[in-house]
Structure 1
Amino acid sequence: MKVSTRSLPALAVLAALTIPATAFAHPHIFAEARLELETSADGQITELRHVWRFDEVFSSSVMLDFDRNGDFVLDNSELASISEVVTDSLSDFDYYTSLTIDGADGSISLPDPIKVSFQDGQLLMFFAVLPKEPLPLDGTIAVGVFDPTMYAAIEFVTDDDMVVTGASADRCSRRVIRPDPDEVIAQNQGSLTEAFFSDPTGNDISKLFATRLELDCK
């Protein structure tokens, strides 16, 4: 049986249906994240791998919503229900993944459902998205991870949580960019209106605030 989207209200995609739009001005959910860009011997990015570990408050709410038999353990069928909800819902938001190549937007796909587990009282999600087109290590490539509604904060605690792996990992220089929110606001005052913060669907300007991994392959 397909789970109602209201069963996971804390996810930004689903919260847009149940929470007033003004609530999206700041995060309500927090997740510590890791991003790995896997490369091949012929100089291509082959996968963008994500791991998200959610805060204990949100994780507890998921447990209450999906623990159908009340045993305080998420069994395989209950975890599968969570996976179905988040996989379907986050597709509208490109799985919180922003890919640009020399400033132009790139496209991604999700070949397999998002995997979920519950460890030490926290919900984990892990999955890999693939470039829809071949993605050679050439030019400037940037990958940001963010919720466009600003309801969830995806946090990379250290720069080592955004890495390049695989056979061509050393081909490009790498840096992690953490935008200063005050600078972003000052530079985009004309765009950051009340309508921006109250739009439950999110918008492209949200990515200006996102931590991103940038590769210089020139």
Structure 2
Amino acid sequence: MLSPAAVAAHPHIFIDTGLTIVLNDQGEVTGVEVVWAYDALYSMLTFEDMGLDNDYDGRLDEAELGFLNGFDMNWVEGYEGDLFLEAAGDRIALGPPEPRGLIVEEARIVTTHFRPVVAPVSADGLIVRAYDPTFYTAYDLTRGVRAEGACAVQVTPADLDAAYTLVEEMLYAMPSADLEDAFPEVGEAFADTVVVRCTG
């Protein structure tokens, strides 16, 4: 049985994520290409909300794909795209998303976009995490992480036991009446950590 805190921290959307760290000829990061593969339930609900896939076969025609394309790129002010880069302890500023396509794969919506960095930084030692601070959406790096050039990535999975312990400690410290409107931002604790290492 899950504790009330663990249940409260359960995400509602699950996204299989792929990341490609893009470098220039000087070995600097210029941006990250991001693939989001939405879970089947969320994809189905999106089709229904938008009046798509009326034959319920999990496939869209070209007109429907065109209508759906970009549906997840209308970001509200302040939304950071659930992607966070860090170098030498400093947060790396990212520019707005550049859409790079959408497909439907086994009845799941898969979108690709590019996040440019505002100013290129050295790739060696770069830390990358994909997470929703509120943990409403869960990101899993199952579609792989890679870096271009003479760089490799090391992925350290999140310590889930520690993450759920943190959730319980934070929730039990809050008045129950505040939970719905002020759920603590615990998403980072559930995020895998990607570190880029380069040679040459």
Q: What TM-score do the two structures reach when normalised by structure 2?
A: 0.76
* Counterpart in the other structure of 1:212: 193
Q: 1:190 to 1:201 in 2, by over 3 A?
A: closer
Q: 1:197 to 1:38 in 2, by over 3 A?
A: farther
Question: 116, 134, 140: which one pairs with 1:149?
Answer: 134
Deviations 1:158-186 (A, max 9, x none): 7xx11112x3x33xx63111121222455
Mapping of 1:137-176 within 5 angstroms?
137-138=123-124, 140-157=125-142, 161-165=144-148, 167=149, 169-170=150-151, 174-176=153-155
Which letter maps to 1:162?
A: V
Root-mean-square deviation (CA, aligned residues, Å) is: 3.3
C-alpha separation in 2, matches of 1:177 and 1:24: 25
* Comparing 124-133 and 91-100, the one that deviates more: 91-100
Deviations 1:44-84 (A, max 9, x none): 11220111211211111111112358355545554455444
* Counterpart in the other structure of 1:127: 113
How many aligned positions are there?
A: 189
Q: Secondary structure at the match of 1:182?
A: helix
Q: 1:162 to 1:24 in 2, by over 3 A?
A: farther
C-alpha separation in 2, matches of 1:69 and 1:191: 42
Post-superposition offset of 1:99: 0.7
Question: 86, 98, 108: which one pairs with 2:84?
Answer: 98
Q: 1:78 to 1:184 in 2, by over 3 A?
A: same
Whether the aligned pair in 1 keeps the contact of 2:9 and 2:167 (CA below 8 Å) is: no
Q: 1:201 to 1:126 in 2, by over 3 A?
A: farther
Whether the aligned pair in 2 keeps the contact of 1:149 and 1:199 (CA below 8 Å) is: no
C-alpha separation in 1, matches of 2:189 and 2:76: 20
Q: 1:216 to 1:112 in 2, by over 3 A?
A: closer
Post-superposition offset of 1:24: 6.2
Post-superposition offset of 1:189: 7.5
Whether the aligned pair in 1 keeps the contact of 2:99 and 2:113 (CA below 8 Å) is: yes
Question: 73, 77, 88: which one pairs with 1:87?
Answer: 73
Give unmatched runs, 5+ long, in structure 2: 1-6
Q: Secondary structure at the match of 1:57?
A: helix
